[in-house]
Each structure stands twice: as structure tokens, then as C-alpha cells.
């Protein structure tokens, strides 16, 4: 199938949000997405850009996306974080994930970062195998911690 | 023991770096820290601030620190990330970790974020118990992935 990878435009955000919803469903959190198309447009394309986004386009359809931003490591300085790497279901196994990851790593390399990091669900073996095949280190002893909106409010009440 | 929590100043970065080294040793990666005092000063106090830092001061000594920055969640929008929460060994168990976390959560609350996130080593039971006691959710099914500097270079060669 014919597709191309390019930087995202505002006009892509509606379809990117569809992919974000598709991923949330796959990750068993179908109701977790609160971000809107307008949020993605203002946050990604305003004067203070909060992320950088690549898309894979096939015809007029966005069939994959990679969304990144920089973080700060107290060990390595500026690092690049890959928040989402999404390939729509019907396009999996076509090499599209590799092409998107290529763009992400090239982008990080050009920024001169000493690390590119992301997170993966420990039961998502296809993703883990893919990342490890690309030389990434899945750190099974590091867990992610969240204090969510309710948690923040309860915490504040109890200070 | 008498101590106060305040926003960090440039002049604190030397002692903050000592705490960063202390944490790296505890995390069994004593040689991982490449960041310098000058990096912390320029990255935290330049025109484009890459992090926000709180310190706990006892006399003239910095005995704890919390370092945060914002990230972007495609589910929740802007979130706050706690990169490091460090209490120097001799001060553990004095309630200093709670005071530092209080500042972090207040800061996130004032920013209006819907999530505060961080990472923890799965064998660090005192930290996990502390975070869970504060209402945080330790997501044991989410692992951290790193593509390090060598990994990036190898990846680029093989594109």
C-alpha cells in the first residue's frame, strides 16, 4: 500500500484524535481521552508548541501517527519523549511503525538528545518485541506512577 | 530538625547536583549522571526554562529537592511530571518527602493539570508505599522504555 510520512498539519488533528481514541480502546481505557480536536490544534500549533507530530498518510487518510515532545533528565539533560506511536489496525504489519519510529529517532538525533524514551504496557508483546528489535531497552523494573485529577484534589484537601 | 521548603535558586544547583548523584548511586547507576552544574543553571534558569525546582534547606545545606516539568498527554492535555524527589539519606523519615511532594502537588494544582506523573523502581518499596499512601496509582503494567545514546546512533546507521 502506498503511504507517505510527513509532519502533521492542523487539519490532520481530527484524524489524529481518532487514532488516539483507537489506541485508548486497545489499551482498555476507552473513556480516558478528554483531549479535543481544538486542544490538539491549540497545543500543537500555537505560539508555544507543546508537542511535535508526524503522520502517515495513505490517500486522504491518516493511518498512523507519532507524537513527541522534549523532557528533562537530571542525568542526561534534554531528552525526547515519544508519547504515542499509533498505526491503525488495518495497517499493522506493513512496516509503517518502523517508518514512523525512523522519523522520531531522526528528529531526536537532529535535536542532539542523549535519550529517546517512552512507555509500554507489559502485556503488549508485539510492541515490546518491535522496540527491542530496534535496540530499545524495556526497563521492566521501572513503573509509571499517576496521581490523577481526583487524586490531586484529595491530596490538596489533606495538606 | 529545622528546615524550610522554597523555590530553588541558581546558587543551589551545586548541592542539587550532589543529591542527583546520591539518587543515581541509590538506583545502582553511579556513572549515569552526565549533567553538570552549569547545565542545571542554564537549563533551569535561562530564558527558556526546562524545569522547575524546589529545595528543602536546613541551615545552609540543601537536604532535599523536587524537580518537575510539564509534559503532554494525548488523553489529558498538559500534565506535570515529577522527575526527581530526593531526600538526602540522613533526613529520610523526617517528613521531608511529604513536604516536598506537597509543594509539587500544589504547583500542579495551580497549573490546573489533570495528572501528575512520575516513575519508580519496582524494588523501591519505601517509595512505593509512600506514593500509594498519598493516593498515587503505581501502574505496575506500564514499563519505561529507553533508547540511549548508543541506541540512537546504531538506529540512525541502520535506517
pLDDT, position A76: 97
Please choose, from the candidates A68, A87, A74, A89, the residue with its C-alpha nearest in 3D space to the C-alpha of residue A8.
A68
Note which residues in 36-75 of chain B have CB less than 8 A from chain A: 39-40, 43, 50-51, 67, 69-75
Contact A105 B156 (CB under 8 A): yes
Model pLDDT, residue A2:
82
Distance (Å) from the alpha carbon of A60 to chain B's nearest alpha carbon: 23
Q: Hey, is the C-beta of A126 within 8 angstroms of any chain B C-beta? A: no
The tens digit of pLDDT for each residue in A32-44 reads 999 999 999 999 9
Q: Label each residue of A122-136 as H, E or C.
A: CCCHHHHHHHHHCCC
Contacts of B106 in chain A (CB under 8 A): 156, 159
Q: Which of A84, A116, A154 sits opposite B135 (nearest CB)?
A: A154
Q: Which residues of chain B from 10 to 29 reach within 8 Å of chain A, CB to CB?
A: 20, 24, 29
Which residues on adjacent β-strands are paired with residue A126? none
What pLDDT was estimated at residue A104? 98
Is A1's pLDDT higher than 80? no
pLDDT for A44 equals 98
Q: Which residues of B are known to be catalytic?
A: 131
Task: State the pLDDT at residue B2.
Answer: 82
For B73, name the nearest residue in chain A, comparing CA atoms only: A83
Measured between CA atoms, how close is A91 to chain B, in angstroms?
Answer: 21
- B145, A137: Cβ pair inside 8 Å? yes
pLDDT per residue of chain B (159 residues) written in tens, 0 to 9: 688 999 999 999 999 999 999 999 999 999 999 999 999 999 999 999 999 999 999 999 999 999 999 999 999 999 999 999 999 999 999 999 999 999 999 999 999 999 999 999 999 999 999 999 999 999 999 999 999 999 999 999 999
CA–CA separation, A145 vs A124, rounded Å? 19
Ordered alpha helix ranges (H), A27-135: 37-45, 96-111, 125-133
Q: What is the DSSP letter of B90?
A: G
Q: Give chain A's mean pLDDT.
A: 96
Q: Which three cell numbers stand for residue A99?
A: 517508518
Vertex A148: Cα angle to B119 and B9 (nearest 5):
60
- By C-alpha distance, the chain A residue nearest B43 is A77
Q: Any CB–CB contact under 8 A between A157 and chain B?
A: no
Give, in degrees to the nearest 5, the angle at Cα B155 between A85 and A2.
55
pLDDT digits 0-9 by tens, A91-132: 999 999 999 999 999 999 999 999 999 999 999 999 999 999
**Residues of B in Cβ contact (< 8 Å) with A34:** 75-77, 114
Predicted pLDDT at B1: 65
Q: Do residues A98 and A126 make contact, with C-beta atoms less than 8 angstroms apart? A: no
The domains found in chain B, sorted by start residue, are: 4-118 (3.40.630.30)
Q: Smallest Cβ distance to B151: which of A50, A135, A145?
A: A135
Taking the C-alpha atoms of residue A92 and residue A88, their distance in angstroms, rounded to an integer, is 7
Nearest to B53 by CA among B68, B63, B38, B64: B68
- Nearest-CA residue of chain A relative to B83? A73
Query: Which residue in chain B is spatially nearest to A66 when comparing CA positions?
Result: B74
Amino acid at each position: 500500500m502506498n503511504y507517505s510520512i510527513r509532519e502533521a498539519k492542523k487539519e490532520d488533528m481530527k484524524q489524529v484524535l481518532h487514532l488516539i481514541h483507537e489506541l485508548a480502546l486497545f489499551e482498555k481505557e476507552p473513556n480516558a481521552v478528554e483531549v479535543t480536536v481544538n486542544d490538539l490544534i491549540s497545543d500543537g500549533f500555537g505560539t508555544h508548541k507543546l508537542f511535535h507530530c508526524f503522520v502517515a498518510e495513505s490517500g486522504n487518510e491518516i493511518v498512523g501517527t507519532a507524537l513527541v515532545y522534549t523532557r528533562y533528565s537530571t542525568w542526561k539533560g534534554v531528552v525526547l519523549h515519544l508519547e504515542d506511536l499509533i498505526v491503525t489496525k488495518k495497517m499493522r504489519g506493513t512496516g509503517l511503525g518502523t517508518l514512523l519510529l525512523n522519523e522520531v529517532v531522526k528528529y531526536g538525533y537532529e535535536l542532539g538528545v542523549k535519550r529517546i524514551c517512552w512507555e509500554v504496557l507489559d502485556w503488549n508483546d508485539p510492541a515490546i518485541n518491535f522496540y527491542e528489535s530496534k535496540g530499545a531497552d524495556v526497563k521492566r523494573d521501572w513503573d509509571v506512577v499517576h496521581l490523577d485529577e481526583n487524586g490531586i484534589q484529595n491530596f490538596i484537601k489533606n495538606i
